[in-house]
Structure 1
Amino acid sequence: MEPLDLFGMRESYNRQQIMLCFNGPISRSLIEEIGNALRNYLSSENAPASSAMDVFAVYIEMTQNIRHYTRQKDWTDPEAGATVVVARDEQGRYVVSAGNLIESADGERLQAAVQALAGLDKTELKARYKEQLRKPRDEQASSGAGLGLIDIARKASEPLEATLREVDASRSFISLRAVI
């Protein structure tokens, strides 16, 4: 194994204002522990309560979606890993990003859903959310790209971004970014 350049990583994280970074298999208890650490960090930073709640909610939604998806696919730990980053941007806003392996077709559908939501304003997002709430839930259908994604888009201060990077013939890596 190549030696880690922790100082270099630290300097890079500081330049990018990364507050929290995780990479690896993600469990329910780990989501909770990282969530508690995030909540404490935001509290110590005196983040406005509404921003802190939105950042926490977006983090939880993204990580639970990843966990649900990878469990549904019955993937092994290396396949089921997630990369999660919470940072600040140049304007001081919080940026929550999460990524994971995904079957390419599922990734394309998710990316299309994100692009469709990105074209909506706050009023249209609220209407879409209410519409989704009223729809009967099909227990047999995959629950991805629904109410939770719309809720993330509603909390975001700018349109969501999703990028898809091909890994092999059947899988890609999806990255979702929300600015709060």
Structure 2
Amino acid sequence: MEPFDLFSMRESYNRQQIMLCFNGPISRSLIEEIGNALRNYLAADHAHPSSAMDVFGVYIELTQNIRHYAQQKGWTETDASATVVVARNDAGHYVVSAGNIIEQADGEALLACIDELAGLDKAALKARYKEQLRKPREAEAASGAGLGLIDIARKSSAPLQGSLRQLTDGRAFVSLRAEI
């Protein structure tokens, strides 16, 4: 095993203003514990209450989506792992980023949705949210890339960004970035 250079990691995290970073299998209890830590970090950072709520809400939505997706696929803990980072950018905005392994086709559909939402202004996002709320849900339909993603886009101060890195066996690693 390669030795860790924790000091270099720390310096890198400090330069990138990373407040919280997680990589590994994600359970409901872990989502909750990291959420509690995030709330404490935001309080210590004197985040505006509405910003803190938005950052927390985006974190919860992203991590729960990752967990639900992996459960839906029946994947192992390793395949169900997530990478989550909460940081500040140079403009002082919070940036919530999350990534996970996904079926290539699902990732492409998700990126198409992200690209579509990124082109909408706040009024159009609000209208899309209301439209999605009114749509009837089929009982057997899998959830995903719907209301929660629109809500993340609405909370973001900049267009959502997403990327897909192709892996093997028809899978890819999807990354989503929301700035608040």
Shorter-chain-normalised TM-score: which range? over 0.9
Aligned residues: 180
Q: Which residue pairs with 2:65 in the alignment?
A: 65
- Unpaired runs of 5+ residues, structure 1, are none
- CA separation in 2, counterparts of 1:17 and 1:48? 18
In structure 1, the residue matched to 2:112 is: 112
1:9 and 2:9 are equivalent in the alignment = yes
Q: CA shift at 1:55, angstroms? A: 0.1
Q: Which residue of 2 aligns with 1:82?
A: 82
How much does 1:142 deviate? 1.7
Distance in 2 (CA, whole Å) between partners of 1:77 and 1:169 is 17
Partner SS for 1:41: helix
2:131 maps to 131
Residue 166 of structure 1 corresponds to which residue in structure 2? 166
Which 4+ stretches in 1 moved above 6 angstroms? none
Return the alpha-carbon distance in structure 2 between the equivalents of residues 139 and 50 of structure 1.
34
Residue 98 of structure 1 corresponds to 98
Of residues 29-38 and 139-148 in structure 1, the stretch that sits farther from structure 2 once superposed is: 139-148
Q: Deviations over 1:21-59 (max 9, x none)?
A: 000000000000000000011011110000000000000
Structure 2, unpaired ranges of 5+: none
Distance in 1 between residues matched to 2:164 and 2:142, nearest whole Å: 20
1:149-168 deviation per Cα after TM superposition (whole angstroms, max 9, x unaligned): 00000000000001000011
Q: Within 2, Cα distance between the matches of 1:139 and 1:55?
A: 30
TM-score in terms of structure 2 length: 0.99
Q: Considering only aligned residues, what root-mean-square deviation do their CA atoms show, in Å?
A: 0.5
| 1:61-86, Cα deviation, whole Å (9 max, x unpaired) | 00000000000001001100000000
Sequence identity (%) = 73
1:93 alignment partner AA: H
Counterparts of 2:139 and 2:106 in 1: how far apart (Å)?
18
CA–CA distance in structure 1, aligned partners of residues 169 and 118 of structure 2: 28
**Residues of 2 paired with 1:157 and 1:117: CA distance?**
13
CA distance in 2, matches of 1:73, 1:138: 19
